[in-house]
Structure 1
Amino acid sequence: MKMIALVLAVLGAAATPAAATDVFNPWVAQVKRATPDCREFQEFAYIGRVAGYPGNDSPRSVSFVGCFPTVAQCHRWGDLVSGRMNGRIILARCGLR
Protein backbone atom coordinates (compact mmCIF):
# COMPACT_ATOMS: atom_id res chain seq x y z
CA MET A 1 0.00 0.00 0.00
CA LYS A 2 2.83 2.41 0.82
CA MET A 3 4.39 1.64 -2.56
CA ILE A 4 1.16 2.61 -4.36
CA ALA A 5 1.02 5.92 -2.45
CA LEU A 6 4.65 6.61 -3.33
CA VAL A 7 4.06 5.89 -7.00
CA LEU A 8 0.99 8.13 -7.11
CA ALA A 9 2.86 10.93 -5.37
CA VAL A 10 5.75 10.69 -7.82
CA LEU A 11 3.39 10.74 -10.79
CA GLY A 12 1.48 13.69 -9.36
CA ALA A 13 -1.78 11.78 -9.11
CA ALA A 14 -1.94 12.31 -5.35
CA ALA A 15 -2.99 15.95 -5.74
CA THR A 16 -6.45 16.55 -4.31
CA PRO A 17 -8.92 19.39 -4.61
CA ALA A 18 -7.92 20.40 -1.09
CA ALA A 19 -4.28 20.64 -2.18
CA ALA A 20 -5.32 22.93 -5.00
CA THR A 21 -7.07 25.33 -2.61
CA ASP A 22 -4.21 25.45 -0.09
CA VAL A 23 -2.76 28.45 -1.91
CA PHE A 24 -5.82 30.49 -0.98
CA ASN A 25 -6.71 28.64 2.23
CA PRO A 26 -3.52 27.55 4.01
CA TRP A 27 -5.56 26.49 7.04
CA VAL A 28 -6.81 23.45 5.06
CA ALA A 29 -3.39 21.78 5.16
CA GLN A 30 -2.99 22.65 8.85
CA VAL A 31 -6.32 21.04 9.72
CA LYS A 32 -5.50 17.92 7.69
CA ARG A 33 -2.17 17.54 9.53
CA ALA A 34 -3.79 18.06 12.95
CA THR A 35 -6.72 15.68 12.40
CA PRO A 36 -6.26 12.19 13.91
CA ASP A 37 -5.96 9.69 11.05
CA CYS A 38 -8.37 6.76 11.38
CA ARG A 39 -5.75 4.37 10.00
CA GLU A 40 -3.37 5.29 12.82
CA PHE A 41 -6.00 5.34 15.57
CA GLN A 42 -8.06 2.25 14.82
CA GLU A 43 -9.00 1.90 18.49
CA PHE A 44 -10.90 5.23 18.45
CA ALA A 45 -14.64 4.55 18.37
CA TYR A 46 -15.94 7.79 16.81
CA ILE A 47 -15.49 9.12 13.30
CA GLY A 48 -16.03 12.73 12.32
CA ARG A 49 -16.63 14.11 8.85
CA VAL A 50 -16.76 17.73 7.73
CA ALA A 51 -17.07 18.86 4.12
CA GLY A 52 -17.80 22.16 2.46
CA TYR A 53 -16.41 25.15 0.63
CA PRO A 54 -13.48 26.82 2.40
CA GLY A 55 -14.29 30.34 1.24
CA ASN A 56 -12.19 32.94 -0.55
CA ASP A 57 -14.28 32.28 -3.67
CA SER A 58 -12.80 28.79 -3.94
CA PRO A 59 -14.73 26.73 -6.51
CA ARG A 60 -13.55 23.46 -4.96
CA SER A 61 -14.85 21.79 -1.85
CA VAL A 62 -12.69 20.27 0.86
CA SER A 63 -13.38 17.37 3.18
CA PHE A 64 -11.90 16.18 6.43
CA VAL A 65 -12.23 12.83 8.20
CA GLY A 66 -10.84 12.04 11.62
CA CYS A 67 -11.27 9.51 14.40
CA PHE A 68 -11.65 10.29 18.09
CA PRO A 69 -11.85 8.42 21.40
CA THR A 70 -15.03 10.24 22.55
CA VAL A 71 -18.03 11.77 20.81
CA ALA A 72 -17.38 15.04 22.69
CA GLN A 73 -13.88 15.33 21.19
CA CYS A 74 -15.30 14.54 17.77
CA HIS A 75 -17.90 17.31 18.05
CA ARG A 76 -15.32 19.78 19.35
CA TRP A 77 -13.10 19.05 16.32
CA GLY A 78 -16.08 19.31 13.95
CA ASP A 79 -17.10 22.67 15.41
CA LEU A 80 -13.57 24.04 15.02
CA VAL A 81 -13.22 22.80 11.43
CA SER A 82 -16.63 23.97 10.26
CA GLY A 83 -16.02 27.29 12.00
CA ARG A 84 -13.00 27.90 9.77
CA MET A 85 -15.05 27.56 6.58
CA ASN A 86 -16.34 30.79 5.10
CA GLY A 87 -18.38 28.99 2.47
CA ARG A 88 -21.27 26.55 2.54
CA ILE A 89 -20.94 23.53 4.83
CA ILE A 90 -22.14 20.36 3.11
CA LEU A 91 -21.59 17.85 5.90
CA ALA A 92 -20.69 18.02 9.59
CA ARG A 93 -21.26 14.75 11.41
CA CYS A 94 -19.87 12.58 14.21
CA GLY A 95 -20.87 9.00 14.91
CA LEU A 96 -19.71 5.52 15.75
CA ARG A 97 -17.36 3.91 13.26
Structure 2
Amino acid sequence: MEFRPAIRVRGALAAALAAAALVAGGASPASAFVSVDIARYQAATPKCDANPSFGWVGRVSGEVDNNFDTGQYAVSFVGCFPTKEACDTWRERALGLITQVIVQNSCAPRTSKD
Protein backbone atom coordinates (compact mmCIF):
# COMPACT_ATOMS: atom_id res chain seq x y z
CA MET A 1 0.00 0.00 0.00
CA GLU A 2 1.42 3.36 -1.03
CA PHE A 3 1.21 6.29 1.36
CA ARG A 4 0.03 9.53 -0.20
CA PRO A 5 -0.34 12.65 1.90
CA ALA A 6 -3.76 14.22 1.68
CA ILE A 7 -2.37 17.74 1.66
CA ARG A 8 0.95 19.12 0.51
CA VAL A 9 2.15 22.20 2.31
CA ARG A 10 4.92 24.23 0.75
CA GLY A 11 7.10 27.25 1.32
CA ALA A 12 6.41 29.73 4.07
CA LEU A 13 3.33 27.89 5.32
CA ALA A 14 5.29 24.65 5.76
CA ALA A 15 8.04 26.49 7.62
CA ALA A 16 5.54 28.25 9.86
CA LEU A 17 3.79 24.96 10.65
CA ALA A 18 7.13 23.29 11.44
CA ALA A 19 8.15 26.15 13.73
CA ALA A 20 4.77 25.98 15.51
CA ALA A 21 5.19 22.24 16.05
CA LEU A 22 8.62 22.85 17.57
CA VAL A 23 7.28 25.46 19.95
CA ALA A 24 4.35 23.23 20.89
CA GLY A 25 6.68 20.47 22.01
CA GLY A 26 8.14 18.71 18.99
CA ALA A 27 11.44 18.17 20.79
CA SER A 28 12.01 17.32 24.41
CA PRO A 29 15.22 18.62 26.03
CA ALA A 30 14.70 16.30 29.01
CA SER A 31 14.65 13.24 26.80
CA ALA A 32 17.05 10.39 27.51
CA PHE A 33 17.71 10.28 23.78
CA VAL A 34 18.88 13.82 23.16
CA SER A 35 20.48 12.90 19.81
CA VAL A 36 17.06 11.83 18.49
CA ASP A 37 15.55 15.12 19.64
CA ILE A 38 18.39 17.02 17.97
CA ALA A 39 17.90 15.23 14.66
CA ARG A 40 14.15 15.92 14.76
CA TYR A 41 14.71 19.58 15.63
CA GLN A 42 17.25 20.03 12.85
CA ALA A 43 14.92 18.36 10.33
CA ALA A 44 11.96 20.55 11.36
CA THR A 45 13.94 23.82 11.36
CA PRO A 46 12.93 26.12 8.45
CA LYS A 47 15.79 26.05 5.95
CA CYS A 48 17.09 29.35 4.60
CA ASP A 49 17.36 28.20 0.99
CA ALA A 50 13.73 27.01 1.05
CA ASN A 51 12.52 30.32 2.55
CA PRO A 52 14.26 33.16 0.71
CA SER A 53 11.74 35.75 1.91
CA PHE A 54 12.33 35.10 5.62
CA GLY A 55 14.24 38.04 7.07
CA TRP A 56 15.78 36.52 10.23
CA VAL A 57 18.47 33.88 10.61
CA GLY A 58 19.00 31.95 13.83
CA ARG A 59 22.20 30.16 14.77
CA VAL A 60 22.80 27.93 17.78
CA SER A 61 25.74 25.60 18.31
CA GLY A 62 27.44 23.88 21.18
CA GLU A 63 28.25 20.53 22.73
CA VAL A 64 25.92 17.74 23.82
CA ASP A 65 26.58 14.75 26.05
CA ASN A 66 26.93 11.55 24.07
CA ASN A 67 24.25 9.01 25.02
CA PHE A 68 26.58 6.06 24.50
CA ASP A 69 29.84 7.03 26.21
CA THR A 70 31.22 9.75 28.46
CA GLY A 71 32.22 12.13 25.66
CA GLN A 72 30.51 15.06 24.02
CA TYR A 73 29.81 15.92 20.41
CA ALA A 74 29.25 19.19 18.61
CA VAL A 75 25.84 20.18 17.24
CA SER A 76 24.78 23.11 15.11
CA PHE A 77 21.40 24.55 14.19
CA VAL A 78 20.72 27.17 11.51
CA GLY A 79 17.30 28.30 10.35
CA CYS A 80 15.50 31.26 8.80
CA PHE A 81 12.33 32.82 10.15
CA PRO A 82 9.74 35.39 9.13
CA THR A 83 10.00 37.40 12.37
CA LYS A 84 12.46 38.03 15.18
CA GLU A 85 9.96 36.60 17.65
CA ALA A 86 9.72 33.31 15.73
CA CYS A 87 13.52 33.17 15.56
CA ASP A 88 13.91 33.84 19.28
CA THR A 89 11.36 31.17 20.18
CA TRP A 90 13.17 28.63 17.98
CA ARG A 91 16.57 29.69 19.37
CA GLU A 92 15.51 29.31 23.00
CA ARG A 93 14.18 25.81 22.29
CA ALA A 94 17.40 24.85 20.48
CA LEU A 95 19.45 26.09 23.44
CA GLY A 96 17.53 23.65 25.63
CA LEU A 97 19.06 20.79 23.65
CA ILE A 98 22.63 21.93 24.34
CA THR A 99 23.84 20.13 27.46
CA GLN A 100 27.40 21.44 27.61
CA VAL A 101 29.19 24.53 26.26
CA ILE A 102 27.18 26.96 24.11
CA VAL A 103 29.35 28.24 21.26
CA GLN A 104 26.89 30.29 19.21
CA ASN A 105 23.53 31.80 20.16
CA SER A 106 22.02 34.44 17.88
CA CYS A 107 19.06 35.69 15.88
CA ALA A 108 20.01 38.42 13.44
CA PRO A 109 18.64 40.09 10.33
CA ARG A 110 19.39 38.00 7.28
CA THR A 111 22.17 39.25 5.00
CA SER A 112 23.07 38.46 1.40
CA LYS A 113 25.51 35.79 2.70
CA ASP A 114 22.69 33.84 4.41
The correspondence for 2:61, drawn from 48, 51, 63, is 51
Between structure 1 and structure 2, the one with the greater Rg is: 2
CA pair 54-44 structure 1, distance change in 2 beyond 3 A: same
Q: Secondary structure at the match of 2:35?
A: coil
Q: Give how far 1:25 is off.
A: 1.4
Amino acid at match of 1:76: T
Q: Give how far 1:60 is off.
A: 2.3
CA pair 34-58 structure 1, distance change in 2 beyond 3 A: farther
Identity of aligned residues (%): 35
Residue of structure 1 equivalent to 2:42 = 32
CA pair 48-31 structure 1, distance change in 2 beyond 3 A: same
Residue of structure 2 equivalent to 1:96 = 109
Deviations 1:38-73 (A, max 9, x none): 000010000000000122344321101000000011
Residue of structure 1 equivalent to 2:82 = 69
Amino acid at match of 1:85: I
Q: Give how far 1:28 is off.
A: 1.4
Q: Secondary structure at the match of 1:63?
A: strand
**RMSD value over aligned CA atoms?**
1.6
Residue of structure 1 equivalent to 2:97 = 84
Q: Give how far 1:94 is off.
A: 0.3
When normalised by structure 2's length, the TM-score is 0.61
How many residues are aligned here? 75
Hey, which bits of structure 1, 4+ residues long, moved more than 6 A? none
Structure 2: which 5+ residue stretches go unaligned?
Answer: 1-32
When normalised by structure 1's length, the TM-score is 0.71
Query: d(CA) in 1 for partners of 2:83 and 2:65?
Result: 29
Deviates more, 1:44-53 or 1:59-68: 59-68
